[in-house]
């Protein structure tokens, strides 16, 4: 069967919701297409496949595939198996707790960890050097303090966000 690349028309409602999630994506350093895809899935009445989304948003297959991969990577969407169809169908995950913790684990945690590594390296440099002023020692100590606090924030945010569902 030939795929129909029919003209895409988003309802005013869909457009607004998509625009909202595009904004969020931007805030989270994610590509625009990720926000668009999630916005459509969030308002979808039923599971959608890659081609449904590609056509609806009028974006390329590559972008769609990449965007869905990112959304899957932190659990913002789920794959739904539709019997008798070879395609993968997707629905938006509706638990903010799951999305937020997925995002935290996949997108934030690695940064915090590489930050810790770098901070260790900084400590080493500080100890190697002989003539380091007390002021610099203080600064690096402060850096460690900040790092410690940053590490404390994430779990609390997740607990706060994930209250009920």
Name which of a second copy, DNA, none residue 148 binds, using a CB cut-off of 5 to 8 Å depending on partner kind: none
Does residue 80 touch a second copy according to CB under 8 A?
Answer: no
CB of 96 to a second copy, least distance (A): 6
Reference 31, options 121, 89, 107; nearest CA is: 107
Does 29 contact DNA by CB under 7 A? yes
Q: Is 86 in the site for DNA (CB under 7 A)?
A: yes
Residues 1, 9, 13, 27: which binds DNA (CB under 7 A)? 1
CB closer to DNA, 69 vs 148: 69
Regarding 68 and contact with DNA (CB under 7 A), the answer is yes
Q: Check: CB of residue 91 under 8 Å from CB of residue 49.
A: no
Task: Provide the angle, in degrees to the nearest 10, between the axes of the packed helices 134-161 and 96-103.
Answer: 160
Of 88, 140, 143, 144, the one binding DNA by CB under 7 A:
88
Which residue, 73 or 123, has its beta carbon nearer to DNA? 73
Give which of 134, 49, 59 is closest to 86, Cα–Cα: 49
CB atoms within 10 A of CB 65: 12
Q: Which residues contact residue 129 at a Cβ distance below 8 angstroms, ignoring those fewer than 6 apart?
A: none
Residue 65 lies near DNA (rule: CB under 7 A): yes
14 touches DNA (CB under 7 A): no
CB 116 within 8 A of CB 149: no
């Amino acid at each position: 069967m030939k795929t129909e690349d029919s003209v895409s028309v988003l309802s005013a409602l869909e457009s607004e919701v998509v625009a909202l999630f595009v904004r969020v994506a931007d805030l989270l350093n994610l590509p625009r297409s990720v926000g668009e895809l999630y916005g459509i899935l969030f308002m979808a009445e039923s599971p959608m496949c890659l081609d449904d989304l590609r056509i609806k948003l009028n974006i390329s297959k590559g972008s769609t595939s990449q965007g869905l991969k990112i959304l899957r990577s932190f659990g913002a969407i789920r794959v739904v198996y539709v019997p008798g169809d070879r395609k993968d169908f997707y629905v938006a995950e509706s638990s903010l707790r799951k999305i937020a913790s997925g995002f935290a684990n996949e997108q934030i945690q690695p940064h915090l960890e590489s930050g810790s590594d770098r901070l260790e390296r900084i400590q080493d440099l500080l100890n190697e050097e002989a003539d380091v002023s007390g002021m610099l020692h203080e600064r690096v100590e402060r850096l460690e303090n900040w790092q410690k606090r940053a590490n404390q924030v994430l779990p609390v945010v997740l607990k706060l966000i994930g209250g009920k569902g």
